[in-house]
Structure 1
Amino acid sequence: MSDIAFVLRMMCVSTVLALISLTASAADLRVVVSGGFAQAYKDLTPSYEQISGDHLISGWGPSMGNTVNAIPARLARGEAIDVVIMVGDALDRLMAEGKLEPGSKVVLANSLIACAVRTGSPQPDIRTVEGLKSAFLNARKVAYSDSASGEYIKHRLMQILQIEAQMQGKAAQIPATPVGEIIAQGEADFGCQQHSELLPVKGITIVGLIPDQVQLTTPFAAAIVKGSPHAQEANRLLRFLRSPASAAAIGATGLAPVSTP
């Protein structure tokens, strides 16, 4: 990014935050983010902290599943959290359970599923449904996540491709660890996850998005946790993440930003 572009972007961010609130005080905000939005959040955090004065205390965990860091598990044990950023339908379940402030949900971005191989390995052509099917069947070991994309692959995509029986024993759902890291380490030679989660991983090559006919669009959303003592400041963060000033950084991570003025 050029110096001029950087200055213009920072001016835009400053304007957004000034309009959000002229009176909100700085706060320590505890935010837990699921993997699909993690890189965008990391890229935006320094600018937000510098301009707002807030200090973001960040944690990471899947939107669902049984791992100790999963966002529902954190809330269930009463962990102090102000904001969650996660898969939209999982967030809706927490909202229905009364764990989040009613009306605080904002959709930040949409995500698509992509697939990858270890760098240097042959790259299958997955532009068609038949090509994707062949990539699964020809792989020695396949990995997919324990969150939204993996649940879809396990319970729906395998059925659509009619390969459930053939994949028994060689397809594994990976808890907690990013699928890209499993591929990079050679523990699987083909795997699929949210594009934004594969993009930052070194040692892999993303071969493409899965075809439109079998693609799943996953919204990532944020909300304020019920009873947060910093609701005003949390709302300021949500409006910043949803603003046009944040769209470019979100888009650069492989997500499709959803922004409002």
Structure 2
Amino acid sequence: MANTVRMLSTLGLAGAMRSLSSAFETASGIHVDADFAPTLALLKRLRDGEAADLVILTREGLDEMIGEGRVVAGSAADLARSYVGIAVRAGQPHPDIGSEAALRRTLLAARSVAYSRLGASGVYFAQLIARMGIAAEINARATIVEQGFTAERLGSGEADLAVQQISELKQVGGIEVVGPVPHELQTPAVFSAGRMANARHAVAADRLLRYLASPEVVPVLRQSGLEP
């Protein structure tokens, strides 16, 4: 259909994009066919030949796609910044994660920490615990989530703590976000959008891209735990 845009988006923006896609459809009459997955999974799908008009990835992932000629370089737009945070089941005490030493104690005290294997947050967290010298202890009882939201493992009782982008944690009910990992220990993920070089609906994709990069969407991004 000419009035449909096929969008592949990283999970970190799923909450915001569902709301923004709906608003865009109402205003433009263009339907957004959206699919959400971790960036590394999306990169594999795109390299395997999956078709899309617009992609939203981490900035590093988008740059790879531009380098491979799959995304139009001039179309790239940075949409939002996201920090990795920690969540507990609703009603549980909020542990101290305010400093590196406190975070280390909290992670070591947890029965199990849920983190993602394929998402940007999981890659970061694996590097963080290695840098802190506690990777062996944490991974011995970690709950590794192949795909999806780590905070779902709090409700099921599989884990005491969930680690993921704050925007992803906030999409799960029955949990509370304790806060971000101390900012000095992390570099925020930047999520960026671009039009595919072989987009079937390039005009509609460009229109959606302009909307997502406009000041109009800022309140929705903030509400979902992202920084414009």
Deviations 1:35-84 (A, max 9, x none): 111111111112111111111111111101xxxxx212221232221111
Counterpart CA distance in 2 for 1:212 and 1:33 is: 25
Native 8 Å contact 1:83 1:224 kept in 2: yes
Native 8 Å contact 2:37 2:148 kept in 1: no
Deviations 1:166-210 (A, max 9, x none): 223112431112111112211111121000000121121111111
2:100 maps to what in 1?
A: 129
Deviations 1:102-138 (A, max 9, x none): 2211100000011011123232111111111111100
Q: TM-score, normalized by length of structure 2?
A: 0.94
Structure 1 runs of 4+ with >3 Å offset: none
Native 8 Å contact 1:101 1:227 kept in 2: no
Native 8 Å contact 2:115 2:125 kept in 1: yes
Counterpart CA distance in 1 for 2:143 and 2:193 is: 29
Runs of 5+ unmatched residues, structure 1: 1-25, 65-69
1:32-47 → structure 2 map (5 Å cutoff): 32-47=8-23
1:40-189 → structure 2 map (5 Å cutoff): 40-64=16-40, 70-145=41-116, 146-155=118-127, 157-189=128-160
Select 1:246's aligned residue among 213, 217, 226: 217
Q: TM-score, normalized by length of structure 1?
A: 0.83
Runs of 5+ unmatched residues, structure 2: none
Native 8 Å contact 1:37 1:86 kept in 2: no
Select 1:220's aligned residue among 171, 177, 191: 191
Q: What's the Cα RMSD here?
A: 1.4
Pick closer, same or farther for the CA change 1:168–1:245 going to 2, 3 Å.
closer
Q: What's the % identity of the aligned pairs?
A: 38
Native 8 Å contact 2:11 2:148 kept in 1: no
Deviations 1:139-172 (A, max 9, x none): 01111112111101102x1133221232231124
